[in-house]
Amino acid sequence: TFFNLERFSHSFAFTVDGDPHFIISVPQKEDAICFNINENPGAVLNLITDPVTGIIVNGELIGDKRANNDSKIQNTYFGKLGITNKHLDLRLMVTPEKITIQNGNEKTGFTWLDSVNLQQEGFTLIINRKKNLVFSMGSGASFVIVLHQVWKKHPLHQDFLGLYTLDSGKLSKQTHGLLGQFFHPIDFTILEIHPGSDPRKPDATMIVKNKELTVTRGWQKDYRKDPKNGIDIPCWFVHNNGAGLIDGVHTDYIVSSLF
């Protein structure tokens, strides 16, 4: 049974996917903010940390098969995601090849060719073959991980993952991380929209967190309904690794390992 994401579309507010990596939906504005983190492949970023529920989500970046010489910044994507629940002694590791769940001392492995509906005390894991998986813990938030597969012999790109959060309101007010900090309401104002360097993408001034940032109108792909091509969602792109929007600087979120 293919997990029906339509039911949840209104609550898919927070996404880590593709490039730009992060999209934050701001429902009261009927708009979205997006930003990228430019780090080297191999860097592990803390996406969500909730000290109350014990849930931690980290992601490891991968790059293209070969660097694009024309571009100064290498495209990166999430190639590994790790979800931990410290209170339940539970770990889920997902790569584009395999899915491993460790429950205490018990370790179970699957591939993306499996169709799985695993319900155990404390968690549920549903794998929709070659498409996505849904992971829920206790009464906490649920996460959907989308598999992006590229043509096997693609000269440049490799398979990668996207993360969508469901029911993020079930995490505590102390939740932080590159994505988790936006589970709390955020407000912004857009002023002075004017032509930017790309005629299709105007620039503007964003007032957010009592700061003035220069932002650019862009698009982010939402891959829930169309996993292959994605649907373009307009968003205000914050430059320089989300500077001024995220708490601290992006390097504060680099961690030493997936778990």
The tens digit of pLDDT for each residue in 77-120 reads 999 999 999 999 999 999 999 999 999 999 999 999 999 999 99
Secondary structure class of 255 (helix, strand, coil): strand
Gyration radius of the chain's alpha carbons: 18
Q: Report the alpha-carbon distance of residue 28 to residue 15 in Å, rounded.
A: 17
Q: What's residue 67's pLDDT? A: 65
Task: Tell me the pLDDT band of 9, cut-offs 50, 70 and 90.
Answer: very low
Q: What is the pLDDT of residues 117-150, one digit of tens each?
A: 999 988 999 999 999 999 998 777 899 999 998 8
Do the Cβ atoms of 110 and 122 come closer than 8 Å? no
Buried b (16+ CB within 10 A) or exposed e, 220-233: bbbbbeebeebeeb
Mean pLDDT (the chain) is 87
User: What's the pLDDT tens digit per position in 177-213?
Assistant: 999 999 888 999 999 999 988 888 999 999 999 999 9
